Chain A
Amino acid sequence: MALPAHIAVSPHASTSRTPIYAVVGNPNCGKSTLFNALTGLKQKVGNYPGVTVEKKTGTTYSQHGQPITVIDLPGAYSLAARSPDEAVTRDVLLGRRADTAQPDRILCILDATNLERNLYLLHQVLDLGRPVIVVLNMMDLAVKARLNIRVARLEHELGVPVIPCEAVNGRGIVELRLAMSRVDLPLARHAWNIPAAIAPAVADLQASLTANDQKAPLIARAEALLLLTDQDSVRVAGSTPLSPRTNEILQTWQKRWAADGTDWAGTLVNSRYEAIGRIATEVVLPAGETGPSVSDKIDAIVTHPLLGWLVLGAVMTLLFVSIFTLAEYPMNFIDAHVAAFADWVKNVMPPGDLRDLITDGAIAGVGGVIVFLPQILILFFFIGLLESTGYMARAAFIMDRLMSRVGLNGKSFIPLLSSYACAIPGIMATRTIEDPKDRLVTILVAPLMSCSARLPVYLLMIAALVPGDRVPVVTKAGIMLLMYALGTFGAFGFAWLFKRTLLKGAPPLMIMELPPYRLPRVKDVALHMLERAGIFLRRAGTVILGISIVLWFLAAYPKAPADATPTQQLAQSFAGRAGHLLEPVIKPLGFDWRIGISLISSFAAREVFVSSTAVVFSVENFAGGKNADVTPLRTALRNAAWPDGRPLFTPLVCFTLMIFYVFAMQCMSTIAIVKRETNTWRWPLFQTAYMTGTAWILSLIVFQAGRAFGF
């Protein structure tokens, strides 16, 4: 089966336009390393409109200095998409996305150590009838694994350039650039026998796609083949739907095959692998007996029934402790400098609303955004390391059984664990979960894991709760543990509930590759980390800044007389009035309007509860921050009383407040990041409602039951 002569050689579409290359490859084939090596820092990271799939484009230069656009498509095992990532890759290659130009040429990256499976995607890509350059990556590792790959032979079999490459140390990049600079690239000698049973269907669909969907003949053929391997594959927003006529033809054929028992999808996959098998036996000479590989040896420990838990525990402790302790220094530094900067502005600017807007609204808001950066950077540094070494897949493998109890899979483990430090990086880390429903469930429950911002609230309440000046360590630890346990059970309970009701779906699959262990490349990890930080600053930062200014306005207006104390000002501001309005709702929980003010203002971030409580209960010269001495505040809280003289902060009320903070969505930054990660306001609003609703109900039960028992 030879291709028609007129498409045997394809020149550049036009010399005046910048040619577009798409980079495709399996996950773990070294695609991002190669993309980074080609484009350096000339990259743009965005989103495909309507889906939370990252769109990465970069520019590289031909040997003559002409710019070449390179699109890094998400990693895919097959074009019959099973995840939003793969759906985007498929749609871009088939020209189904209006927001992305169809690439002129394709770079297909193959992992040389795992050639057979990698050839499957290439086999589909060659069907597209575009010029393809094959990059045989990780040649060094293939040599180490004693695989003898005959590159010239592969080039001959495929009829397209094959460039051996070691992207990690830049070997082969020059040759690749030379190949990319070629004006003419041959089309693949890509003859494979479409099984006779389905050949008429391919012809029908191809004809319809050409006539009704305006596809070029070869793309139409590739799409027809794909439609026939696709059993209800994933669809994503932004993808042009098929014409009704094409759908009709597809369904007619599928019904006919279902009736006579033809295994259409399986037959196609089988014949592709038969063709691949023929190529592989020609190209890869069998390696001699190689003993267990280094990866096998590491896995014998890392996934050992007993040692595996120790390794996982150690890695997670390291991750957790680093986020918690290492981040504290830069966070305090940022806190202090933002405060100092605000003070400086206060001194140089004339007093007035503009000054207060800048210092208490804008600067405080920006500070509130960048204070999260250290945690995000550290977490993504670790996640980058875990991913590029291959340990991430092992952690998911070990934890899958536990996570499956609530209907999730092992991949939700790291995001949820990270959320103990801070839900924001945890939620950003859910991008590794392929199934959209699992990902959404993980996002929805992640903020229930008690994050570090709840600590100051817990500590203050424990101090106010326990009589005496010194809180016994056992009591303190016991109460803290209880709060962490409550949050964790809450997260898993709601995950279970959501998976059974709202986001019901097939049980998630755990079909996952365990890639060989590899040494991470610091440059790639660092780039990944900076990318995350940039995304957080750009997308979440704007929302957080906006909410901060609104919250400032609510606390600053209307103005009290000039001689009013901060406490009086707050009491008669909009926030104070809102506290009064809120009182009927929170009185059944044992909270008064002053606690209401603190609840409202700590919507910015949970730890704000401490400083705003200090203002509300008029503690003079209260220095905020994590290491603040809470003794004066504690005394003020002990003296606080209802109008009839009953003490306000009884131990039961303190305990109820802690319960409230375990569950309530008191964090605008989380809301902002959930909005970004789900692409809609619907989910963050739902999340806020269910979390704060649960917090209210549980607080009510605890307070009323506690009172009934005489506390």
Chain B
Amino acid sequence: MATSIELSALAVGASAVVRDFPKTGAAFLRLREMGLLPGTRVTLVRTAPLGDPLEIKIRGYNLTLRKSEAAHVLVEPAP
């Protein structure tokens, strides 16, 4: 099993599968409700011109989140 990294550390264009996620906090509950769950495949589409926030693609649509939140989401890089 490959090692998990933070979602914010993913390279632009790379895909990964979500492995772990904080249990509490409004931001993380909302991210789950938006479909970012353990097991979900996520692609880092790009970062904003100033480096933050990030744009990711999940379940066929694009979502932004700040690096501060993405740093708490652990993902396992996947081809």
Contact = CB atoms under 8 A, between A and B. Distances in A.
Interface stretch (A42-50, A266-274, A554-562): A266-274
A473 B44 CA distance: 49
Contacts of B66: 400, 404, 509-510
Contact of B24 (A78, A229, A231, A511): A231
B24 A513 contact: no
A266 B49 contact: no
A572 interface: no
Q: How big is chain B's contact interface, by range?
A: 20 to 34
Contacts of B68: 507
B61 to A, nearest CB: 5
Contacts of B31: 511
B37 A270 contact: yes
B48 A266 contact: no
Contacts of B60: 113-114, 116
Interface in A43-71: none
Interface stretch (A300-308, A379-387, A696-704): A300-308
B26 A269 contact: no
Given A269-B37, A401-B50, A512 B64 contact: yes
B49 A511 contact: no
Contact of A273 (B27, B35, B50): B35
Contacts of B33: 77-78, 80, 120, 229, 269
Contacts of A78: 30, 33
B6 interface: no
Given A266-B23, A303-B48, A303-B49, A511 B30 contact: yes
A537 B38 CA distance: 50
B11 interface: no
Interface residues of A, number: 41
Contacts of A309: 49
A550 to B, nearest CB: 45
A293 to B, nearest CB: 10
Given A269-B33, A401-B48, A511 B55 contact: no
Nearest to A396: B64
Contact of A117 (B46, B55, B59, B65): B59
A309 B33 CA distance: 32
A113 to B, nearest CB: 8
Nearest to B65: A511
A273 B37 CA distance: 9
B63 A513 contact: yes
Contacts of B10: none
A231 B64 contact: no
Given A78-B33, A117-B34, A397-B53, 14 more contacts: A116-B59, A229-B33, A263-B23, A265-B32, A266-B21, A269-B29, A299-B45, A303-B46, A303-B49, A397-B64, A509-B66, A512-B63, A514-B62, A514-B64
Interface of B: 21, 23-27, 29-35, 37-38, 45-46, 48-53, 55, 59-66, 68-69
- List the 4 shortest-distance A-B pairs measured between CB atoms, nearest first: A401-B50, A514-B62, A78-B33, A116-B59
Interface of A: 77-78, 80, 82, 113-114, 116-117, 120, 229, 231-232, 263, 265-266, 269-270, 273, 299, 303-306, 308-309, 393, 397-398, 400-402, 404, 506-507, 509-515
12 contacts: A113-B60, A114-B60, A116-B59, A269-B29, A303-B55, A397-B64, A509-B26, A511-B27, A511-B63, A512-B64, A513-B34, A513-B62
